[in-house]
Amino acid sequence: MPRTLFDKIWDAHVVEAETAESPAVLSVDLHLVHEVTSPQAFAELDRRAIRVRCPDRTVATLDHSIPTTPADGQGQRRYASEEAWTQVERLEENCARHGITLHGWDSPHRGIVHVIGPELGLTRPGMTIVCGDSHTATHGAFGALAFGIGTTEVGHVLATQCLLQHRPRSMEVRVEGRLPPGVTAKDLVLQVIAHIGTGGATGHVIEFTGQAIRVLDMEGRMTVCNMAIEAGARAGMIAPDETTIAWLRGRPACPQGAEFEQAAERWLQLAGDPGARHDREVVLDASTFAPTVTWGTRPDMAVALDRPVPMPQDAAARRALEYMGIQPGQPLSGHRVDVVFIGSCTNARLGDLRAAAEVLRGRHIAAGVRMLVVPGSETVRRQAEAEGLDRVFITAGAEWREPGCSMCIAMNGDLVAPGQTAISTSNRNFEGRQGRGARTLLASPATAAASAVAGCVADPRHDPRHDTRQISHSPETWQMQVPSPRTLEART
């Protein structure tokens, strides 16, 4: 029977098949660990006096609760609280005791867990990858089965390198056509989520297919898979192809030389067989997409910048608009922003920083706007600094920080003040996500940077440096430039 990409990876990792009485025992190739969701799991191993079974398949980093400001002259770092500091020390102790590689403060590779995995070549096609973090789906961009787990399950993997799992259903999201110029992977995935809904893919693993996906570079693919969870999916994945292989070649943890080429041959065979069926299919047309920004408090409450914010159809939408202070019936363009955040596991890779810097080069952010640029890893930081991107950001009036999750989860002290509106390249716009009472607009790096310059939500395609047309925020001139998103009905 023809099998999908997901089928192949799942089947290859089943140690013990699912029965009426028990779930499948699924082997885990790579377990990524960070400071926030692991201490209770290590404590459970200690309580049972058991060791981490495969420290060589476990890699840890510091990212969620750590400060992104540099250490002071004495090497001291300003943690948000004593407790946050304790949590970091706990991970350091746990990793040292169990022989786990930790990319801690002294590592040149430290960074956001979903940025460093691929960067180091730890993430490879065909693998099963888990982490106590819902954005683990990011690694699916390489044709891996990668998903988030809770802390109890983190303990299961530490102890056995396996998980008890029921086989999820599969869903194909086929994005046909090509993105118009100036429209990015982030805009694409926001459109997909708006179409499927926040819970629309619950119980499913999404495989993204179609021409618009195939032409994305690896960073764009990571952005897309990263946000699969925002449609409720267990995981998102994209079949490996030549783009995947070119990106992985030479990465430190990858096989090298002839061994790599042999592995690449195997990886290319992971793609779904002709005729393989998914449980559900959704088809969208990328050529109708435009820069997209969220207007509400769920990732599926998103709208193209040139379209009006929809009139509320239910209590949730009314509550969201009220919380956000947004008027429906008119485009978001021109809506005031106080804070701009470029960062997170969704959009803090080199290409994201380049896109933002491209918009900011030779310009300054608007008066009263605070802009934070937080690279995804130390590697990204070094590369960005080597290209002078840090100078572009600093000259434009932004803060250039050290790597971490920062204002995406806002538990390290990088906060948006109550009532302020932040345009962020992160993944969640839930109430209070970026700080109590904070209002979040999710957008691409280019849109966020263009908005920083304008002081209000702005379309990055309308750059006055390249265009003598008058920028206007009035809806009349902006509507109808791009046809409304047209979707082919889902076949279920």
Partner 1 sequence: MKPNPTIESTRIESTTLVLAESNIDTDQIIPARFLTTTERSGLGRHAFADWRFDAEGRGRADCVLNLAAARQSAVLVAGDNFGCGSSREHAVWALQDFGVRAVVSSSIADIFKANALKNALVPIEVDADCHRWLLDHPGAPVTIDLQACRLAAGLAAEDGPEVSFELDPFARRCMLEGVDALGWLLSRREKIEAWEKTRAEAA
Our CB check for partner 1 shows the closer of 347 and 412 to be 412
Our CB check for partner 1 shows the closer of 236 and 334 to be 236
In terms of DSSP bridges, do strands 487-491 and 235-237 run parallel, antiparallel, or are they unpaired? unpaired
CA 464 to chain centre: 30
Beta bridge partners of 34: 61
Question: To 5 degrees, how large is the angle CA 189–CA 285–CA 290?
Answer: 60
Question: To 5 degrees, how large is the angle CA 114–CA 185–CA 377?
Answer: 30
Under the criterion CB under 8 A, does residue 379 sit at the interface with partner 1? no
Distance CA 106, CA 295 (A): 40
Helices (H), 276-366: 315-324, 350-360
Distance CA 182, CA 446 (A): 8
Q: Report helix angle 445-454 to 350-360, nearest 10.
A: 30
Under the criterion CB under 8 A, does residue 22 sit at the interface with partner 1? yes
- Identify the CA nearest to 239 among candidates 3, 30, 488: 3
Our CB check for partner 1 shows the closer of 374 and 453 to be 374
Stretch binding partner 1 (CB under 8 A), from 157-165, 220-228, 276-284, 325-333: 157-165
Joined tokens for residue 267: 């990886």
Helices (H), 325-472: 350-360, 378-386, 389-395, 445-454
Minimal distance, residue 21 CB to partner 1, in Å: 6
Assess contact for 63 and 378: CB atoms under 8 A. no
Joined tokens for residue 19: 């029965």
- Identify the CA nearest to 251 among candidates 157, 117, 411: 117
As a whole number of angstroms, the longest Cα–Cα distance in the chain is 70
Under the criterion CB under 8 A, does residue 433 sit at the interface with partner 1? yes
Our CB check for partner 1 shows the closer of 109 and 135 to be 135
Distance CA 239, CA 260 (A): 18
Under the criterion CB under 8 A, does residue 255 sit at the interface with partner 1? no
Under the criterion CB under 8 A, does residue 268 sit at the interface with partner 1? no
Range 38-67, binding partner 1 (CB under 8 A): 39-40, 43-44, 47-48, 50, 64-65
Minimal distance, residue 355 CB to partner 1, in Å: 26
CA 66 to chain centre: 19
Under the criterion CB under 8 A, does residue 101 sit at the interface with partner 1? no
Range 447-466, binding partner 1 (CB under 8 A): none
Measure CA of the first residue to CA of the last residue in the chain; give whole Å: 20
The radius of gyration of the chain from alpha carbons, rounded to an integer in Å, stands at 22
Assess contact for 384 and 390: CB atoms under 8 A. yes
Stretch binding partner 1 (CB under 8 A), from 151-159, 268-276, 280-288, 453-461: 151-159
Token pair 């080597």 is found at 386
> Which of 160, 211, 243, 395 forms a contact with partner 1 (CB under 8 A)?
160
Site string for partner 1, 277-306 (x = CB under 8 A): ---------------------x--------
Our CB check for partner 1 shows the closer of 377 and 429 to be 429
Minimal distance, residue 16 CB to partner 1, in Å: 6
How many CA atoms are closer than 13 Å to the CA of 20, on its beta-carbon side?
0
Under the criterion CB under 8 A, does residue 232 sit at the interface with partner 1? yes
Stretch binding partner 1 (CB under 8 A), from 101-109, 146-154, 238-246, 359-367: 146-154
Under the criterion CB under 8 A, does residue 161 sit at the interface with partner 1? yes
Minimal distance, residue 223 CB to partner 1, in Å: 18
> Which of 104, 164, 336, 477 forms a contact with partner 1 (CB under 8 A)?
164
Token pair 């100036």 is found at 182
Minimal distance, residue 411 CB to partner 1, in Å: 4
Under the criterion CB under 8 A, does residue 17 sit at the interface with partner 1? no
Under the criterion CB under 8 A, does residue 203 sit at the interface with partner 1? yes
Under the criterion CB under 8 A, does residue 132 sit at the interface with partner 1? yes
The site for partner 1 (CB under 8 A) is made up of 15-16, 20-23, 25, 27, 36-37, 39-40, 43-44, 47-48, 50, 64-65, 80-81, 83-84, 86-87, 90, 132-134, 148-153, 155-156, 159-162, 164, 166, 168, 198-199, 202-203, 229, 232, 234, 298, 316, 319, 409-411, 418, 428, 430-433, 436-437
